[in-house]
Structure 1
Amino acid sequence: MPSSERLPPKESALFRKLLKCYEMKQYKNGLKLAKQILSNPKFTEHGETLAMKGLTLNGLGRREEAYQYVRRGLRNDLKSHVCWHVYGLLQRSDKKYDEAIKCYRNALKWEKDNLQILKDLSLLQIQMRDLEGYRETRHQLFKLRPSQQASWIGFTMSYHLLGDYETANIILETFRQSQALVENYDYRNSELLLYQNQILIESGNYEKALEHLTKFSAQIFDKLSLKEAMGDLHIKLGQQSLAVPIYEQLIKRNPENVLYYAKYFEAKGITDNGSKLAEYKKFQESYPYAMCPKRLPLDIAFGDEFREIIDGYLRRGLRKGVPPLFVNVRSLYKDPEKTSIISQLVHEYHQNLNESGHFSKDDCEQKKPVEPASALLWTLLFLSQHYDFLRDTDKALKYINLAIDHTPTLIELFVTKGRIYKHAGNPVEAYKWLDEAQSLDTADRYINSKCAKYMLQANLITEAEEICAKFTREGISAMENLNEMQCMWFQTECALAYQRLGKWGDALKKCHEVDRHFAEIIEDQFDFHTYCMRKMTLRSYVGLLRLEDVLRAHPFYFKAAKCAIEVYIRLFDKPLESEKTVEEIDTENLPPAELKKLRNKQRKAKKKAEIESAQAAQAASKKEQHQKSKQQNPQEADPEAPQLDELIPEKLERPEDALEKAIDFLKPLQTLAKDRIETHLLAFEVYSRKNKILLMIQSVKRARKLDSTNPVLHACIVKLLIALTEENVNNFHPSVKSVVEKVRTELSGGKTASALNDDFIRKYEKSVPHLLEGAKMMYILDRSKKEEAIKLATSFDMENACIEDCTKVFECLRCGEFGECEEQLKTFKERCHKRFKYACLFSEAKSEENHGDEVPDTQTANS
């Protein structure tokens, strides 16, 4: 790398050694070499040496000094591509990719054909998805090194990602022909051919893609991908007769692949259920041990045919003792007729097993072999799961208790009993049974994790952490280790538990930790940009890039973001104030009993603060020792790791602008989770508080496209109409005013907000969620209708209501959304307790600390 300020031979040799030491991560030796060059009075301000010294210091984790030296070097030699390149590398290590790209572009002004700078620039451009810039850079690299394989592949990929499939195919075909003379038919060549075929398929040129596969089938080693692609192409080209034998071979290879059966029927042109059932019977005979041919017919069979098939399927599962048998057939419960048939059959099994040890009376009369003793146990388990799914808690508990009496050592029974209590609204009793299950096998990580999850749903965060500590690294707290391992299910459940407890700062900390995990996953793709092109795993690489583009659409991120947005909205509505000490509170006018309570509370808080302070000091000491060990062993340090701000709950729960923080979480959802109505309902709540009328309208219109009958959407529409008063509309710009008036007419149909709400209530008079939102809007529109609104929200038929709906109504009453209503709340609670006698929320013995007073617990737990 020639310097703009020439060094004498001796110093030049030292500088080359310095570069070598940096590449080999010998940072201390590199510093010595830099010192030797800079100790020469003539070169104390040599820009490139100063820059390299800064880069070496960065490798040792001394970032502030690194920036000082690199900037000093750049000031001394602004025309040096080395200084600009080093500054770009430093910015890249701090994940400031935009700034790094600017530095690389400046470096290229002084050394436009530098390969290393061009490669580094291309990596940043693909990382930031600057595809146009990436194409230009790869084109330049291609011109400079046309003999290198990576130049061709990178150039091809730049056009592929931009959607120019024809050009990408031409480049790849030219490269393949130039390599044809070598005849190196290895795995990399196979992957290259499959990647080229993927480009042809995505371009829609199916005929050419099929010709390509046929021509090079001998050179393709991945025979499974080859057959799948050929079968799919034959179907797309209308050559069904050629596709049938391919899918028969694929089913033979893997009879458990559901997609193969669907494609097989498509290839044979079979659409009626009767023909499909006949084909499934053939597959059952050919592959007697495969589950797919036995399970898939259940989705399309009805009546007596269904009874016959499900009878054999259930008998086999109960006889063999298949634990997930109920989970396998649970999707069939959408059909009431199928639910009834399953219920009749399993009750018959239970009765006959008790009487004769057979599944049916016919088996007993024909003197068939007696079923194994465990068949009764698994039948009882199935019945308990069946009634739990139907939310008949009494019957579910009856059968699970019989099963436990039969075999008190089977872990699945205790897990199921815990799940029954969870669905019945008793998370405390649920976690106790999961704790019992994990005590039977403490080495089972699944049961351990399940128990921890149930504890978090019961708001027992400390206990959940202790349970998880059995499988985390020693010498570090379980919470920290779970964060290091990106255990996001734990952190999302933890955030929801803190939210329910009203510990807003701790909830936000967990949400931000999850957000950082996703940021880390996106940053981790950086290493694959060069690796995948070198190893020729091109199809997987394109899949990785496309996955990373939609990464935050993952359910874990959605749960964390939703929780964070709700907490920030709450903190905006009711900001936290700094806690007053006993001296600041007017204690003279307090009754003795209240003063005693206050002092006890302050004493406990002080003791808790002292314990937390001691724990923090201990953690800081460990961290300091860890940092010292890293400095002693710089090879272990990661210079690429960015310095992240520490997440302190006390600071997080007192944000300067809560709504802007909420929008930071909201934006990825609006881009990647726009098909979920909750995204737009949350957006409305945020923008309504910022008084952004047009954004409120946008959120409502997007939500209406997804589900115009959503009850919360109705509440948003009423709130929007309230905000769009004549006075407010007249203050808008004329162009905005015309849009607003058009939307107002479209949403209300020319009616007032009150009339629209009355129509809504009449239309959905039998739906509890709709009646609740209608009642809330009635109270907001006219405070004098408080009694009528409460009666509307609470006087529904309790027998047909589910626990989730009743919980929402109860929390609305308790949180004051209808004002003061102690008597109505007490009456409604008594009604709910009669209907849901196992639910903690409606029990008199309910622990208040397990339910936050601010945010309703509306999370519906999935089994």
Structure 2
Amino acid sequence: MPSSNPLPSKESTLFRKLLKCYEMKQFKNGLKLAKQILSNPKYAEHGETLAMKGLTLNGLGRRDEAYKYVRLGLRNDLKSHVCWHVYGLLQRSDKKYDEAIKCYRNALKCEKDNLQILKDLSLLQVQMRDLEGYKETRHQLFKLRPSQHASWIGYAMSYHLLGDFETANNILESFRQSQALVETHDYRHSELLLYQNIILEESGNYERALSHLKKFENEIVDKLAVNEKLGELNILVGSKQEAVPIYESLIKRNPENVQYYEKYFEAKEMTTEKERLESFKKFRELYPYALCPRRLPLNNATGDEFRKLIDEYLRRGLRKGIPPLFVTIRALYSDTDKMKIVENLIIEYYENLKSSGHFSKNDCDNNKPIEPASVLLWTMLFLSQHYDYLRQTDKALEFINMAIDHTPTLIELFVTKGRIYKHAGDPIEACKCLDEAQSLDTADRYINSKCAKYMLRADCLKEAGDICSKFTREGVSAMENLNEMQCMWFQTECALAFQRMGKWGEALKKCHEVERHFAEITEDQFDFHTYCMRKMTLRSYVGLLRLEDILRQHPFYFKAARCAIEVYIRLFDKPLKSEEIIEEIDTENLPPSELKKLRNKQRKAKRKAELESEQAAQAAIKKEQHQKSKQQNQETDPEAPQLDELIPEKLERPEDPLEKAIEFLKPLQLLANKNIETHLLGFEVYLRKNKILLMIQCIKRAVKIDPDHPQLFSCFIKLAKCLQALPDDLSPNVKEVVEKARKDLIGSKCSPIQIINDGLQKHANKSIEHILEGAKGLYSLDEKKKDEAIKLITSFDISKLSLVEASKVHEALGSGAFGKSDEQLKTYKENCRRHFKYAQIFRDQNESNNLGNSVNVKDVVTKTADL
């Protein structure tokens, strides 16, 4: 590379070797070469050599020294494109992409046609989604190297990503025509043609896309993709008859693909129930072992036809012993008539199998062979799942217990029993059942994970970690290894468990770990920008870019973000005292009984701290050993930027909890804006920040999704209170927006008490959640109306409530939302206990369970340890 401060022949040769060593990742040899050049007094301040020395040090993980030498080199030679390029590479390795782009642009000012700098710049631009800049850079690369495939492809893709489909297609067409004769099975050429076809389809020119696909059909290797696309395009252009044989061949290839059947009916223009059922009958005859032709007609059939089909479907499933048989038909339960038919049939099966061994009396009268003994077992399992779905817990437990007595070694029975207890509100007994299930097959990773999840739901975190450790790497704690493997279901469940237990710092640590996983996934796409272009996996690459754009829509991120926001709101409302303040307790004025309790608590805390310090020391030793093993490859893999250590004690005492909450909230507002919880959480955050316009924005967005949501009722009350307290010196523009929102959302003269009365009147005896929010609002306006507010929720008929709804009322009474209400809470708990007799939340801690279903957490721990 030409230099603005050229070296003589000897040093120039050493510098080229230094560059080669860096490319080959021989960093120690590179340092020696840099030292040789810099040891010459004439070139001790040579900027490019200093910069390369810094880059080499960065490869060895010595980041601070790297920045020192690169900046020194840049100061000594500001006009060197090499120094600017090296500084950009250093910033890029530190994930500071915006800064790296600035460095590359400065390098291009010194040498505008440097290919390597342009390539590096284009990678950063597509990573940061600077698509206009990406187009300009790819155009420059195209002009400099028009003979390279990547130049054409990258240039076309830049227009595709910007939505200029016509130009993108023209570039690809020119590139295709410029190519020599193509081999018969050229995968790269095949992918190029399919990518070009996607561009034509996305442009909306379906006729042109169809003719293009037909023209080059023989040159495309992926025949499945061709047939699927031919079927779709024929339907889109109106040539539905041509699509029929295509989908018939696709169904023949894979009779279990639901989408093929839907497209087939669309192509045949079958809309009536009779036509579809006849067609499914034909497919059942053609593919007797396929499940789809038997399950899908159940969605369309009704009445006697449905009874006939479901009878055949259930008998076949029970004979084969399909554990998820109930799951496959659960969606049909949204239709009450269909649910009744299934219930009558399965009860009839059970009674006849028990008495005669046949499914029906007709089978018995016609002397058909007796069904296998296992059929009765699967029928009992199905009945238990059926009654569990209807939340008839006693019947569900009756049938599952009979099934376990029949075959006590079937794992699915214990899993189902655990699920029944979970739905009934007893996570401890559910945990015990799953523990027993996994003990029957300790090599089954699914059951192992399911057991760990139930333990986390029962707040048994240590035991869940022990269960997971059976499948994690030895020598590393299960929690640490699961974090390395980005096992986010485990981490989100841990965060929620810590939140329930009031361990706010631990909960936030898990939430931040999940957030870091998503950030890492976003960073990982960087490696694919060059790989996909080189391997010509263009369709997958575009799909990857679009997936990364909406990555934080994923439920894992939503769960973690919601948990973090709720915890930060809690820490804002009730900040934790610093550890020093906690220790400064006035023991002199405490009564003897309270002082004794305090001393016992302090002794327990001290013992716990000592135990935790021992465990932490052991964990630190293991972590150090693990880090040493990771550092063995350090010379070939530059160290990633050091992230701040997540310390629970620091996390639970943030300087500004609401700003931290907003960091999690913003991705949700951008990508999960169709979920009403996003806007409800946003309202709560901005309410505490006193941002009236942002509060109004959140409510407006929530109203568009579900104007009758219970928490939205609470938001209207809080908004009305805020509007009453607004200062008079607001700017005219803000006043105008506020008045319009007042008029549109709550009425121009509507007071908080009027909103409450109207809402309570509207939802009286209909929705306990609305009544609960109204009661909270009533108490917040006037604490003297405490009895009236509590009566509103406790007088609601408990038999009409679900367990979730009753738990929310119980939580509100116990959390102090209505002040001190111990008597009312006790009465409400007793009433709920009679109706939800299995629910753990309504039991006293020291209460012995007469049903024989309760188990102490310590029992679970002991059993787990014995396995």
Q: TM-score range by the shorter chain?
A: over 0.9
In structure 1, C-alpha distance between the alignment counterparts of 2:627 and 2:344, rounded to whole Å: 66
1:16-68 CA-to-partner distances (Å, cap 9, x unmatched) read 11111111111111111111111111111111111111111111111011111
Contact 1:798 1:832 in 2 (8 A): yes
Tell me, what secondary structure is at the counterpart of 1:724? helix
Contact 1:729 1:737 in 2 (8 A): no
Alignment pair present for 1:87 and 2:87: yes
Q: Equivalent residue for 1:855? A: none
1:44 partner letter: A
Distance 1:817 1:738, change over 3 A: same
Q: Equivalent residue for 2:297? A: 297
In structure 2, C-alpha distance between the alignment counterparts of 1:307 and 1:630, rounded to whole Å: 62
1:834 partner letter: R
RMSD: 1.5
Contact 1:683 1:699 in 2 (8 A): yes
Distance 1:483 1:265, change over 3 A: same
CA offset at residue 777 of structure 1?
A: 1.7
Q: Equivalent residue for 1:705? A: 704
Q: Equivalent residue for 2:861? A: none
Distance 1:582 1:171, change over 3 A: closer
Tell me, what secondary structure is at the counterpart of 1:645? coil
Q: Equivalent residue for 2:530? A: 530
Contact 2:61 2:639 in 1 (8 A): no
In structure 2, C-alpha distance between the alignment counterparts of 1:411 and 1:649, rounded to whole Å: 38
In structure 2, C-alpha distance between the alignment counterparts of 1:661 and 1:211, rounded to whole Å: 54
Distance 1:31 1:348, change over 3 A: same
Alignment pair present for 1:132 and 2:128: no
Structure 1 segment 278-357 matched on structure 2, within 5 A: 278-357=278-357
Tell me, what secondary structure is at the counterpart of 2:841? coil
1:57-82 CA-to-partner distances (Å, cap 9, x unmatched) read 11111101111111111111111111
Alignment pair present for 1:734 and 2:732: yes
CA offset at residue 834 of structure 1?
A: 0.3
In structure 1, C-alpha distance between the alignment counterparts of 2:583 and 2:146, rounded to whole Å: 79
Tell me, what secondary structure is at the counterpart of 2:480? helix
CA offset at residue 300 of structure 1?
A: 1.4
Q: Equivalent residue for 2:864? A: none
CA offset at residue 180 of structure 1?
A: 4.2
1:694 partner letter: L
Q: Equivalent residue for 2:804? A: 804
Distance 1:626 1:583, change over 3 A: closer
In structure 2, C-alpha distance between the alignment counterparts of 1:462 and 1:769, rounded to whole Å: 35
Contact 1:94 1:640 in 2 (8 A): no
Q: Equivalent residue for 1:574? A: 574
Deviating more after overlay: 385-394 vs 732-741: 732-741
Tell me, what secondary structure is at the counterpart of 2:842? coil
Q: Equivalent residue for 2:865? A: none
Alignment pair present for 1:650 and 2:649: yes
Q: Equivalent residue for 1:52? A: 52
Distance 1:512 1:778, change over 3 A: same
In structure 1, C-alpha distance between the alignment counterparts of 2:751 and 2:583, rounded to whole Å: 53
Q: Equivalent residue for 1:760? A: 759
TM-score (norm 2): 0.96
1:706-725 CA-to-partner distances (Å, cap 9, x unmatched) read 00010100110111011101
Contact 2:195 2:539 in 1 (8 A): yes
1:455 partner letter: M
In structure 2, C-alpha distance between the alignment counterparts of 1:707 and 1:138, rounded to whole Å: 45
Q: Equivalent residue for 2:674? A: 675
Q: Equivalent residue for 1:161? A: 161
Q: Equivalent residue for 2:863? A: none
Structure 1 segment 482-501 matched on structure 2, within 5 A: 482-501=482-501
In structure 1, C-alpha distance between the alignment counterparts of 2:242 and 2:633, rounded to whole Å: 63
Contact 1:60 1:631 in 2 (8 A): no
Distance 1:109 1:640, change over 3 A: farther
In structure 1, C-alpha distance between the alignment counterparts of 2:846 and 2:713, rounded to whole Å: 33
CA offset at residue 605 of structure 1?
A: 1.8
Tell me, what secondary structure is at the counterpart of 2:146? coil
Distance 1:434 1:109, change over 3 A: same
In structure 1, C-alpha distance between the alignment counterparts of 2:794 and 2:274, rounded to whole Å: 49
In structure 1, C-alpha distance between the alignment counterparts of 2:609 and 2:63, rounded to whole Å: 34
2:80 partner letter: S
In structure 2, C-alpha distance between the alignment counterparts of 1:631 and 1:173, rounded to whole Å: 49
Distance 1:558 1:847, change over 3 A: farther
Tell me, what secondary structure is at the counterpart of 1:730? coil
In structure 2, C-alpha distance between the alignment counterparts of 1:633 and 1:386, rounded to whole Å: 55
Structure 1 segment 147-296 matched on structure 2, within 5 A: 147-183=147-183, 185-296=185-296
Contact 1:486 1:517 in 2 (8 A): yes
Q: Equivalent residue for 1:361? A: 361
CA offset at residue 274 of structure 1?
A: 1.6
Alignment pair present for 1:748 and 2:746: yes
In structure 1, C-alpha distance between the alignment counterparts of 2:518 and 2:400, rounded to whole Å: 41
1:663 partner letter: I
Contact 2:52 2:70 in 1 (8 A): yes
Q: Equivalent residue for 2:858? A: none
Distance 1:337 1:149, change over 3 A: same
CA offset at residue 593 of structure 1?
A: 2.9
Structure 1 segment 431-830 matched on structure 2, within 5 A: 431-579=431-579, 584-628=584-628, 633-635=633-635, 638-639=637-638, 641-725=640-724, 728=726, 730-750=728-748, 751-765=750-764, 766-830=766-830
Contact 1:258 1:292 in 2 (8 A): yes
1:60 partner letter: L
In structure 2, C-alpha distance between the alignment counterparts of 1:847 and 1:433, rounded to whole Å: 21
2:24 partner letter: M
Contact 1:582 1:599 in 2 (8 A): no
Q: Equivalent residue for 2:841? A: 841
In structure 2, C-alpha distance between the alignment counterparts of 1:3 and 1:333, rounded to whole Å: 75
Residue ranges of structure 1 left out of the alignment (5+ in a row)? 851-863
CA offset at residue 847 of structure 1?
A: 9.0
In structure 1, C-alpha distance between the alignment counterparts of 2:521 and 2:373, rounded to whole Å: 50
CA offset at residue 590 of structure 1?
A: 2.1
In structure 1, C-alpha distance between the alignment counterparts of 2:437 and 2:202, rounded to whole Å: 50
1:276 partner letter: R
Contact 2:716 2:755 in 1 (8 A): no
1:590 partner letter: L
In structure 1, C-alpha distance between the alignment counterparts of 2:7 and 2:632, rounded to whole Å: 33
CA offset at residue 630 of structure 1?
A: 5.4
Contact 1:131 1:161 in 2 (8 A): yes
1:15 partner letter: F
1:588-644 CA-to-partner distances (Å, cap 9, x unmatched) read 2223332222122222222222333333334334444455555565335x3152211
Tell me, what secondary structure is at the counterpart of 1:634? coil
In structure 1, C-alpha distance between the alignment counterparts of 2:491 and 2:345, rounded to whole Å: 42
Contact 1:582 1:602 in 2 (8 A): no
In structure 2, C-alpha distance between the alignment counterparts of 1:608 and 1:5, rounded to whole Å: 65
Contact 1:55 1:70 in 2 (8 A): yes
Tell me, what secondary structure is at the counterpart of 1:174? helix
Tell me, what secondary structure is at the counterpart of 1:357? coil
In structure 1, C-alpha distance between the alignment counterparts of 2:181 and 2:483, rounded to whole Å: 53
Q: Equivalent residue for 2:29? A: 29
Distance 1:847 1:53, change over 3 A: farther
1:801 partner letter: L
1:684 partner letter: F
1:474-521 CA-to-partner distances (Å, cap 9, x unmatched) read 011000000000000000000000000000000000000000000000
CA offset at residue 767 of structure 1?
A: 1.3
Alignment pair present for 1:6 and 2:6: yes
Q: Equivalent residue for 1:430? A: 430
1:674 partner letter: N
In structure 1, C-alpha distance between the alignment counterparts of 2:12 and 2:624, rounded to whole Å: 39
Deviating more after overlay: 520-529 vs 618-627: 618-627
2:660 partner letter: K
CA offset at residue 551 of structure 1?
A: 0.2
Contact 1:241 1:267 in 2 (8 A): yes
Residue ranges of structure 2 left out of the alignment (5+ in a row)? 849-853, 855-867
